[in-house]
Amino acid sequence: MKRSQFIPALLALPFTLLMSCEKSSAPVGADHPKAAKKLTIAFLPKSKGNSYFIACEKGAREAVQELGAELLFDGPTNTDPAKQNEIVENWMTLGVDVIAVACENREGIAGPLKRAQEKGIKIVTFDSDTTPDARSFFVNQATPQGIGEALMDEAARLCAEEGEFAIITATLTAANMNEWRKFIEARLAERYPKMKLIDTKPCDDQKDKAQAETTNLISANPNLKCIMAICSPAVPGAAEAVKQAGKAGIVKVVGLGLPSENKAYLKDGVTQSVILWRVADLGYLTIQAAYAVGTGALEVGSKSIHAGKLGEIQIDGTSIILGKPFVFTKDNVDQFDF
């Protein structure tokens, strides 16, 4: 061996020893096989180009940095359940520790997730759940009760707890929205006796129809003080109708939607409040939960989880609930880009 080759070899020796050490110790230290290694969390959104999930990713990156974990972020370019399954299969081969997924197809992805569980990979879902037997925990952005109460409270605040309001929903048969309406009406009956729900109109999940319905509602009900739009295309639709009627500020608009679709109306004072969860926090909490599940700190039956900057988060069964929805107004909307 030449001298020039000997020195690098000598330098490499400790590493070689270390590596062989780790290899040989693996079966012995089976209790904490991953303690020495960084935990790898794979994060799978419904689609990676979508601004909603990009905001999620931002929060997820913040959490892995705090926790010192490894993050794999991948997803279909556009929502595609088959592609999601494919990515899960790839990660199984790669051998990640935890997979966090927002499921496009509830039943379709359950098979691959269960196979991953058999290989010892922990599964956490967020945003949209799979079947409960295919994951440990579901990080739930908001409960129907939380959404319904936030909408009603916000409408009441804008109307000073007095006057007529109307609801624009997607369809009269949409199950999730009927659930929200139930909680809106319960809150109304319980807290706001001087407010009156005068009409509920479907907009077929279309902005133009929401606008038409709002135009008619405003003119047919001169005392109308607030429009509550509970599906996302209805919020800008209702706002446009109020703007065209020249009633900005007189008829308030509150809704459940994306800040980016409502920014201009919020700034113009047509829409007062848009309600949604903090999407980045959803990503952050998902990683916190995934990490806790991966290290074994969080097990089924736990009542709460300590989630870094979010503090103590309640667990309901196997649902980890992000908490109260967030209210976007003209003052804070610039801080968000989804």
Partner 1 sequence: MKRYSRELTVAIALSALLVWLAIFAPHFFQPQPLLARLTAQVPVLVLTIGMSVVIISRQIDISVGSQFGVCAVVAGLTSAAGAPLSLALIAATLTGTAMGALNGFLVAWLGLPSIVVSLATMVTWAEVLRLFQQGRFINLPAGVQWFGFSQFVGQASLLFFALGLLGAMAYFLKNRTGGRHFYAVGSDSEAARLAGINPKGVTMLSFVLMGTLTGLAAFCNMVQSPQVDPKCGVGLEMKAIAAAVVGGIAVTGGRGGLWGAFFGLLLLATINPALTYMHIDAYWEKAIQGLVILLAVIADGLRTKRSAA
Binding stretches for partner 1 (CB under 8 A): 47, 49-51, 78-80, 172, 198-202, 204-208, 211-213, 215-220, 222, 233, 236-237, 240-241, 244-246, 260-261, 264
- Distance, in Å, from the CA atom of 213 to the CA atom of 253, rounded to the nearest integer, reads 14
**Minimum gap (Å) between residue 245 Cβ and partner 1:** 6
Question: Is the Cβ of residue 145 or residue 244 nearer to partner 1 in the bound state?
Answer: 244
Question: Is the Cβ of residue 20 or residue 78 nearer to partner 1 in the bound state?
Answer: 78
**Minimum gap (Å) between residue 65 Cβ and partner 1:** 29
- Distance, in Å, from the CA atom of 319 to the CA atom of 303, rounded to the nearest integer, reads 10
DSSP state of 225: E
Q: Would you report the helix, strand and coil content of the chain in percent, each value rounded to 5?
A: 45, 20, 35
Question: Is the Cβ of residue 236 or residue 325 nearer to partner 1 in the bound state?
Answer: 236
DSSP state of 251: B
**Minimum gap (Å) between residue 246 Cβ and partner 1:** 7
**Minimum gap (Å) between residue 238 Cβ and partner 1:** 12
Query: Other C-beta atoms within 10 Å of 337: how many?
Result: 13
Question: Is the Cβ of residue 110 or residue 210 nearer to partner 1 in the bound state?
Answer: 210
Task: Spell 269-283 as b/e; 16+ CB within 10 A means b.
Answer: ebbbbbbbbbbbbbb
**Minimum gap (Å) between residue 166 Cβ and partner 1:** 9
The H-assigned helical ranges of 162-258 are 175-191, 207-220, 234-244
- Distance, in Å, from the CA atom of 180 to the CA atom of 143, rounded to the nearest integer, reads 9
Question: Is the Cβ of residue 156 or residue 167 nearer to partner 1 in the bound state?
Answer: 167
Question: Is the Cβ of residue 105 or residue 206 nearer to partner 1 in the bound state?
Answer: 206
- Distance, in Å, from the CA atom of 200 to the CA atom of 81, rounded to the nearest integer, reads 34
**Minimum gap (Å) between residue 319 Cβ and partner 1:** 26
